[in-house]
């Protein structure tokens, strides 16, 4: 039935199902490889495994036709276990450490191979120099200096002496190399014995060192937890401090706005006060002039003998006008004093 349902599906849906199945297979393959690496490189008793998350459900329009097909695809993955995020991170760190060690080993091997090649090249150069020198010596010692029609003349006695000397030097060199080889073998054996002793001591020291590292790791974890708690408290304190700071900034802005408004009001009051003071000074001057004129008029009245009726009427009218003017200016002065009083009070309160 499942095959018939698949056959009845259109080609795009089949391709989508195939692509999804391949993607799921790739994910499962990656999980399997990571799981195998974990059990191969880590301690199999430590990991705490969890079930894989359930596969996402199919869309409603394809659920009936793809139900059996997806059940066959995911039936085997329901019981598959995977690594946690911490275990994956630990495995990645171990892989990174192994890659670094491998790179270091390859670097050391490459450097050693390069040194060996340099030594071989140096030895070949020395050997070539020795061969050239031997050829020169051979031609110098063996061949005669007489040159005939057939070329250089070979001296047999010199050739025998030369061969005997070379054989003797070769025997001496062989004995020297045998002795040196024997000494090197003894030195190599001694070094191998020392290396085995160091490895045995190193295993013991490594176990002790691992225990110390575990203890230190636990101590560091406790310190980290304490520091994290302190950091959390500091963050909370910082949040509260920021809130208080924002509140103080807002109050400061309000106070600055109020201060600016008061300064502007005081400036306007000062301008008005200056205007009132100028008007009051002017009124004072006019009052002084009126009083002076009044005194002159009173003096004239005292010195007046018998004025005529018309003169008397005119003088009386002038006096009446002056009195009216004096009353007018007195009212102005009173109004100015009344206007000046709240300004003076406001200035006194502002200072």
**Concatenated DSSP letters of 87-156:** HHHHHHHHHHHHHHHHHHHHHHHHHHHHHHHHHHHHHHHHHHHHHHHHHHHHHHHTEEEEEETTEEEE-H
Mean pLDDT for the chain? Answer: 77
- Distance between CA atoms of 20 and 62, rounded to whole angstroms? 14
Tens digits of per-residue pLDDT, 103-139?
999 999 999 999 889 988 988 888 888 888 878 877 7
280 located within any domain: yes
- Distance between CA atoms of 130 and 126, rounded to whole angstroms? 6
The pLDDT value recorded for residue 103 is: 92
The pLDDT value recorded for residue 160 is: 79
Q: Determine how β-strand 81-82 pairs with β-strand 50-51.
A: antiparallel
253 located within any domain: no
* C-beta separation of 336 from 283 below 8 A: yes
The pLDDT value recorded for residue 306 is: 60
333 located within any domain: yes
pTM over the 0.75 mark: no
Question: Domain containing 314: what range?
Answer: 273-350
The pLDDT value recorded for residue 75 is: 44
154 phi/psi in degrees, rounded to 5: -90, 130
255 located within any domain: no
Tens digits of per-residue pLDDT, 217-271?
888 888 888 888 888 888 888 888 888 888 888 998 999 999 999 999 999 999 9
Q: Looking at 52, 83, 114, which one is the last position of a domain?
A: 83
Q: Looking at 65, 83, 101, which one is the last position of a domain?
A: 83
pLDDT at 151 over 60: no
pLDDT at 57 over 70: no
- Distance between CA atoms of 123 and 58, rounded to whole angstroms? 73
Q: Domains in the chain: how many in total?
A: 2
* Average pLDDT estimate for 69-91: 58
95 located within any domain: no
Q: Looking at 61, 83, 105, which one is the last position of a domain?
A: 83
pLDDT at 290 over 60: yes
Alpha-carbon torsion 181, 187, 190, 194, what sign? negative
193 located within any domain: no
170 torsion bin: left (phi>0), alpha (psi -120 to 50), beta (else): alpha
Higher-confidence residue of 308 and 305: namely: 308
In sequence order, which ranges of 42-80 are alpha helices (DSSP H)?
63-74
295 located within any domain: yes
264 located within any domain: no
Percentage with pLDDT > 70 across the chain = 78
């Amino acid at each position: 039935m499942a095959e018939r349902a698949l056959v009845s599906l259109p080609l795009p849906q089949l391709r989508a199902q195939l692509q999804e199945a391949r993607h799921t297979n790739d994910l499962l393959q990656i999980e399997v490889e990571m799981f195998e690496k974990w059990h191969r490189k880590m301690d199999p008793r430590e990991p705490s495994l969890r079930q894989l998350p359930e596969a996402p459900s199919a869309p409603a329009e394809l659920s009936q036709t793809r139900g059996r097909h997806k059940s066959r695809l995911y039936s085997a993955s329901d019981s598959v276990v995977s690594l946690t995020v911490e275990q994956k991170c630990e495995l990645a760190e171990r892989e990174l450490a192994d890659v670094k060690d491998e790179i270091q080993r390859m670097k050391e091997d490459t450097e050693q191979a390069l040194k060996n090649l340099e030594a071989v090249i140096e030895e070949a150069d020395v050997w070539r120099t020795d061969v050239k020198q031997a050829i020169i010596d051979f031609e110098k010692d063996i061949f005669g200096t007489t040159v005939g029609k057939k070329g250089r003349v070979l001296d047999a006695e010199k050739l025998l002496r030369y061969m005997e000397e070379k054989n003797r030097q070769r025997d001496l060199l062989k004995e020297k190399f045998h002795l040196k080889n024997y000494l090197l073998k003894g030195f190599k054996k001694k070094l191998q014995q020392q290396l085995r002793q160091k490895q045995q001591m190193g295993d013991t020291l490594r176990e002790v060192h691992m225990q110390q590292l575990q203890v230190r790791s636990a101590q560091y974890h406790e310190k980290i937890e304490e520091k994290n708690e302190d950091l959390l408290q500091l963050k909370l304190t910082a949040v509260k401090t920021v809130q208080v700071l924002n509140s103080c900034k807002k109050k400061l802005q309000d106070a600055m706005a109020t201060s600016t408004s008061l300064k502007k009001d005081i400036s306007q009051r000062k301008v008005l006060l200056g205007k009132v003071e100028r008007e009051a000074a002017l009124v004072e001057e006019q009052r002084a002039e009126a009083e002076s004129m009044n005194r002159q008029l009173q003096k004239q009245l005292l010195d007046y003998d018998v004025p005529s009726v018309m003169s008397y009427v005119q003088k009386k009218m002038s006096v009446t006008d002056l009195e009216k003017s004096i009353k007018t200016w007195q009212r102005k002065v009173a109004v100015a004093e009344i206007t000046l009083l709240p300004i003076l009070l406001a200035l006194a309160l502002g200072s």
